[in-house]
Structure 1
């Protein structure tokens, strides 16, 4: 557990749901609520091509829903949307607004995550104030078209290079999640395996069970 100034937070990154943009608001809220009931511990709203108004609308309704379950909402890329809906945090990539600029405009309590693919990027993110890193792609994925598969051993090496939580992302499902065991990860970010599951609740419950054993380092909390 870490501290930022006088603010201390505990965040469970173990079952990190990342949404798919193709879902309309009604379906999005249904899937996310079912996933949370099944065990999703944190949710990122990712809307890569949506106009600001639609992104804001989805974020606003999702925030209201997740507040009922005390589950943090993370906004992908859009710091303005995160601030507008008072989300728990924002997640950015290597080509987005620099961390120093983000930290200058967001509350000290806001979680900031960064996508990384190697130890150098992870260590730079930690040094510049990131609360956690998303490391990937762990496996081949179709959810993010520009994601490059990590070389063998790079996921574990990256996770072990920092003291902040590291979350694996990219093509993770119930068939391959055991390959992530003992790699110093605080959680797994899931997209299609929950968003497209026949039962999002059952899928999330499966992932919750998979990460609850000794395979993940769940002591890594912010």
Structure 2
């Protein structure tokens, strides 16, 4: 039995170490308050479960000087390219250790093993959310201005409006057309994709994973009453970005844990493009800026006149529609919004 306790002791130490490495990165590197609390809670659950094992037996069985594994090192373990690589390795270390705790723990205490199993499953969910956040930060780096393109709102022809916005530096375009027939929307999407990709911009389909798949758009955006992220993935697969509109911190947290690539944060102000009973306002922008590291686009009634207020509340990304589409000079409007985002 000494050998089993020795294995459980080593696995418990590895699991705690791996979890601490992840928590430190999320807290110190990503400044993500919500994820930090989730990981701290997981660490507390692990510590509580490990207390079910007799500490004296674990310590008595420990034999670090004679552990043959301490002298075995492979080259990949001595190098990490970035903080993201450290996090990825730490998650695997955590999960492998939890599996050992679970399997060998069955010899000592079946209830302990079941507690570890639940912690292991939760670690998979958190890994998905943390790693998707990492990928999203990389994919969306520098794409701070997001245009919701609606043809009927455009002061100029939609193609001209789009080109001017892209030329100014819009990094993401969402096709938001609620009244177009499917065939026309399909053709329209392909034209938008061709033009956007000339400027290295991404194209997101609003609430149509089927058409996004047909056209190979870069992503899909859904609201709270539309398809879930999991349902979108069933249709469109793992490749596209999936954005989610959120109106409260609870919804934002749920979107993160479900694997959203980014979130919309709003409505910030009253808007002419969509009706809301209540407006989340600038306070919600502040909450997300404090708590969520996932790329977040403030949205709703944002114009060149009030965008500075939104940025002052903590927003680092903006999503607009009429502010660019309805402008007489779309290039100037987009350029002005980018200047505000960049502190100009």
Using structure 2 for the length normalisation, give the TM-score.
0.57
**d(CA) in 2 for partners of 1:199 and 1:153?**
31
Q: Which runs of 5+ in 2 are unaligned?
A: 1-83, 85-129
Give the match's secondary structure for 2:173: strand
Question: How has the CA–CA distance of structure 1 residues 174 and 162 changed in structure 2, closer, same or farther, with 3 Å as cutoff?
Answer: same
Which of the pair has more CA radius of gyration?
A: 2
CA deviations over 1:140-174 (Å, ceiling 9, x no partner):
11111347422551221134332211110111111
Gaps of 5+ in 1: 215-222
Helix, strand or coil at the partner of 1:125 = helix
Alignment-derived partner of residue 139 in structure 2:
10
Q: CA RMSD in A?
A: 2.4
Q: 2:269 maps to what in 1?
A: 139
Shift in CA distance, 150/213, structure 1 to aligned 2, threshold 3 Å: same
Q: Which string of whole-angstrom CA distances, capped at 9 and with x for unpartnered residues, describes residues 171-212 of structure 1? A: 111111111124343311111110011110111111111111
Partner of 1:156: 286
Cα distance change, pair 152–212 in 1 and its aligned pair in 2 (3 A):
closer
CA change 1:106–1:90 in 2 (3 A) is same
Which residue of structure 1 lines up, in the alignment, with residue 225 of structure 2? 95
Structure 1 residue 171 corresponds to structure 2 residue 288: no
- 1:218 corresponds to: none
Shift in CA distance, 10/85, structure 1 to aligned 2, threshold 3 Å: same
Could you tell me which residue of structure 2 aligns to residue 116 of structure 1? Answer: 246
| Matched-pair contact (CA < 8 Å) for 1:79–1:102 | yes
**Structure 1 residue ranges, 4+ long, deviating more than 4 angstroms after superposition:** 1-9
Kindly report which structure 2 residues correspond to 1:15-30, keeping only aligned pairs within 5 A, or say none.
15-22=145-152, 27-30=157-160
> What TM-score do you get using the length of structure 1 for normalisation?
0.87
Larger relative contact order (Cα-Cα within 8 Å, sequence gap ≥ 6)? 1
The size of the alignment, in residue pairs, is 213
Give the structure with the larger strand fraction.
1
Please tell me whether the aligned partners of residues 7 and 108 of structure 1 are also in contact (alpha carbons under 8 angstroms): no
Cα deviation, residue 7, structure 1? 6.6
Residue among 257, 260, 285 paired with 1:127:
257
Is the 1:21–1:48 contact (alpha carbons within 8 Å) kept by the matching residues of 2? no
Of Structure 1 and Structure 2, the greater helix share is in 2
Structure 1 residues 105-145: Cα deviation after superposition (integer angstroms, max 9, x where no partner): 32323111000000110000010010110011111111113
Distance 1:116 1:5 in 2: 16
Equivalent position of 2:183 in the other structure: 53
Partner of 2:338: 208
Structure 1 range deviating more: 205-214 or 79-88: 205-214
Distance 1:121 1:5 in 2: 16
Q: Tell me if structure 1 keeps the 8 A contact 2:265–2:284.
A: no
